Amino acid sequence: TVAEVVPAAVSVAREAARGRGLVALDVGPIGQLLEPTGTLEFEQAVDIFAEVVEAGAAAGADLIAIETMTDLQEARAALLAAREHSSLPVLVTMTYEATGRTFLGCSPACAALTLEGLGADAIGVNCSLGPRGMPPLVGGLLRWTALPIVLKPNAGLPRPDGSGYDISPEEFAHSLAALADLGVQVFGGCCGTTPEYIALLRRELEGRTVRRVTRTVPAAVCSGTQAVPIDRVRVIGERINPTGKKLMKEALRRGDVDYMLNQALAQTEAGADILDVNVGLPEIDEADMMVRTVKALQGVTDAPLQLDSTDPKVLERALRVYCGKAIVNSVNGEQSTLDTILPLCKKYGAAVVGLALDEHGIPATADGRFAIAQRIVKAANAVGIPNEDIYIDCLTLTASAQQEGAVQTLEALTRCKKELGVRTVLGVSNISFGLPCRGYLNTTFLTMAMVAGLDLAIMNPNTPEMMAAVRAYRVLTSQDPQSTDYVAAYADVQIQTSQVSKSAPAAADAQINTAGGDALFEAVRRGLKTEARAAADAALTMREPLDVVNTSLIPALDAVGDGFEKGTVFLPQLLQAATAAQAAFEAIKAKIAASGQAQGSI
């Protein structure tokens, strides 16, 4: 049992150390995939790791070394268990492929942002590659964390004849020790290394001075596979929110998570960098729906999430299962809110949105809103949240009712950016409520806000003129070098325009294709199980089962497989696509069975 093995291991390590070093409790992977990629629930993983941590701490381990992690969510579970069940220092190392990502797609940036936020004392790399493959990984980590970096590479690769590894102790020690010049502070070895490797490494390091690198971590958020630096105007998609949205409310009442997934994918494809997630309705269990939605979203999109709720219990449950560094929306100037939400953000390493209002409402003036922002920033700093993780919302008021409020909002926004050194966020579309041609006002106000210093625009990315304003602003302020993103978005506009003039029969054919084949292709590619089944049923009303398989199902799986090979699709998305394809194939098999056709023909 754990209670027997761990103390015995600590005792053996203590005896071997002979008083010359510290004894670390080694914590490795469980051997099961966590949700949504696998079936192991997050809290089950935390409990498994907690048992090991408690046993190691009780046995007298000096520190905890969490290592050989390929799944950032599993590393999170182990780190939370270490923090919640011991007071020992914790090192966390992930293992990376030659692509620069772990097997499940985690990059050094995502690992660094997430693990530092959760309270790791040092992070780094173990196993993976030999010393020659370490510099790019070290560079990625150094850019995104101020923590000490740990390196424990393999002795290269095993030789085909089984005679050991292909990097000698001398080469290993020399190559690895040279990385002290990059700022690496903790060294060791993994697969293939022996006492000789470590002894030579120690000798190489003697007399070397670790380069002290002054590091300032950029403001950023991330999912488990994608980091989004806030180095330009970024768009937060607003559509997963029931406020003013009848269809969203209906979906929440019936527990239709697939509706939220469709909203998410539509927004990211339109250009959203981050997705706001608000599932609050009085008649549903908000916490349960938030957790279900967050898990499901992480299975189909790599966009970071902004978790949006006024209930601290909902936020904590969402933060606990969220893999990455999230934004919490929001706190305000009320002391009770600051006292409950800010500690949660600190514990889980989240950024926070601060609303410039308090128990007295929204101040009419820029000075009043700025004063509340100052209080929020001071309170956040006091619990250890740096300015880089604070986003102030100076609040957009409806111009039809408070016309002078627009100027006050923009003035307060500029002051927060310049005087407080924080970043800013606004919900843009409130400005036009109650007025005709809302798009004109929204786009103009958005442009004014960007000029005033807006960093995050909460908006509907499916509104073409607003996305065009963001992309154009990025070009004109050199936030889009060589206009790369702008060209990618609009290079084919003329082609798209010409397609509108299709003949009626051609358009009808396209509609049939979308209802059948293309819809199935997209549902499988996106990993949408329910939609894949429905699309397959629709396709089978117009086409033969073999045709559906050959022209929709197989091409979709081929596209996902190609993406996986190229490193643009990762294992979670691959598994989701396979699950969606299986759901579609069940419909195909049912159709064949009903017709009496032999299934062996497919």
311-370: pLDDT as tens digits: 999 999 999 999 999 999 999 999 999 999 999 999 999 999 999 999 999 999 999 999
What are the residue ranges of helices labelled H in 25-107? 42-58, 72-85
Do residues 114 and 222 make contact, with C-beta atoms less than 8 angstroms apart?
Answer: yes
388-411 pLDDT, tens digit per residue, is: 999 999 999 999 888 989 999 999
What percent of the chain shows pLDDT beyond 90?
72
Closest CA to 279 of 297, 266, 265: 297
pLDDT at 513 over 60: no
What are the backbone dihedrals phi and psi of residue 141, each rounded to the nearest 5 degrees, phi first? -70, -45
- Give the residue from 319, 442, 468, 458 showing the smallest Cα distance to 393: 458
Q: Extract the tokens encoding 291.
A: 């957790």
> CA–CA separation, 571 vs 142, rounded Å?
26
Confidence of residue 598 (pLDDT cuts 50, 70, 90): low
Write out pLDDT tens, residues 41-54.
Answer: 999 999 999 999 99
Q: If pLDDT is split at 50, 70 and 90, which confidence band does 36 have?
A: confident
pLDDT digits (tens, 9 = 90+) for 193-205: 999 999 999 999 9
- CA–CA separation, 26 and 53 (whole Å): 9
Q: Are 127 and 190 in contact (CB under 8 A)?
A: yes
Integer Cα distance of 459 and 276 in angstroms: 10
222 CB contacts (<8 Å, ≥6 apart)? Answer: 109, 110, 113, 114, 228, 304, 324, 325
Confidence of residue 588 (pLDDT cuts 50, 70, 90): confident
Kindly tell me if the per-residue pLDDT of 499 is higher than 60: no
Q: For the CA atoms of the chain, what is the radius of gyration?
A: 27
